[in-house]
Amino acid sequence: GESVGLHLPTLSVQEGDNSIINCAYSNSASDYFIWYKQESGKGPQFIIDIRSNMDKRQGQRVTVLLNKTVKHLSLQIAATQPGDSAVYFCAEKDNNDMRFGAGTRLTVKP
Residues forming contacts to other proteins in the complex (CB under 8 A) are: 3-8, 31-32, 34, 36, 41-46, 49, 51, 89, 91, 93, 97-103
Based on CB atoms, which residue is closest to other proteins, 53 or 69? 53
> CB of residue 110 vs other proteins: minimum separation in angstroms?
26
Q: How far is the CB of 105 from other proteins (least distance, A)?
A: 11
Return the beta strands (E) in the chain as ranges.
10-14, 19-24, 32-38, 45-51, 56-58, 62-67, 72-77, 86-93, 98-100, 104-109
